[in-house]
Amino acid sequence: MTKQQLAGIDWHADSHEVARQLIGVTLLVNGVGGRIVETEAYDRDDPASHSFAGPTERNLAMFGPPAHAYVYLSHGIHWCLNVVCREAGHGAGVLIRALEPVTGIDRMMVRRGTDDLRKLCSGPGKLAQALAVTRAMNGAALDAPPFTLLAGAAAVAVVEGPRIGISKAVDVRWRFGLAGSPYVSRPFRSLPVA
């Protein structure tokens, strides 16, 4: 047993490290999905994290084993998909915020009600709708159906910035993205090349 397991990711690493490693990884749910282009890290000692106040019925999956899913309902409307990391009991995870549609695009278009590729998975709620992620998948292992996780083909250029839609720890730069991708939820403010 090595640390490098599913999709070539070190699932026991810090959430921001896992979030970075996830960029470029292919994620499928029941065969529908694509390449991850945007993630956000959350951790136990992180006021913006659902796990900050300790285990509850809702966030219990975050305290479960790594490489499993944590799914929650946002604003009573949208499902959002996270992957758990660190070790069981720690309470760290990575929110999958956007992916580049690759496989099952026709099904995503039906579920999302649009033909615009850029609007299929460019946000955590949109992504969950396009991939039909629901609470039934909360706590499920990522190395078995309905999930498929595949390592990226090669090293990719990753950009970072502050997380989106939170009111605490707003200065922490734990949002990661694939450089230049048009499929992110919002542009990354890139620093000019010196």
Q: Can you give the binding site for DNA, defined by CB under 7 A?
A: 40, 42, 48-51, 53, 56-59, 62, 70, 73-78, 80, 82, 93, 95, 112, 119, 123-127, 163-167, 185
Tell me the closest approach of the beta carbon of residue 145 to DNA, in angstroms: 23
Beta carbon nearer to DNA, 4 or 135: 135
Beta carbon nearer to DNA, 4 or 120: 120
Beta bridge partners of 141: 68
* Phi-psi category of residue 52: left, alpha or beta, with phi > 0 → left and psi -120 to 50 → alpha: alpha
Q: Which two tokens stand for residue 136?
A: 């039934």
Question: Are 151 and 162 spatial neighbours (Cβ–Cβ below 8 Å)?
Answer: no
Going 128 to 129 to 133 to 134, the CA torsion angle's sign is: positive
56 CB contacts (<8 Å, ≥6 apart)?
none
Beta carbon nearer to DNA, 9 or 69: 69
Within 10 angstroms of residue 9's Cβ, the number of other Cβ atoms is: 24
Tell me the closest approach of the beta carbon of residue 126 to DNA, in angstroms: 4
Tell me the closest approach of the beta carbon of residue 4 to DNA, in angstroms: 24
Tell me the closest approach of the beta carbon of residue 25 to DNA, in angstroms: 17
Beta carbon nearer to DNA, 19 or 149: 19
Beta bridge partners of 177: 38, 159
Beta bridge partners of 74: 78
Tell me the closest approach of the beta carbon of residue 52 to DNA, in angstroms: 8
Beta carbon nearer to DNA, 9 or 85: 85
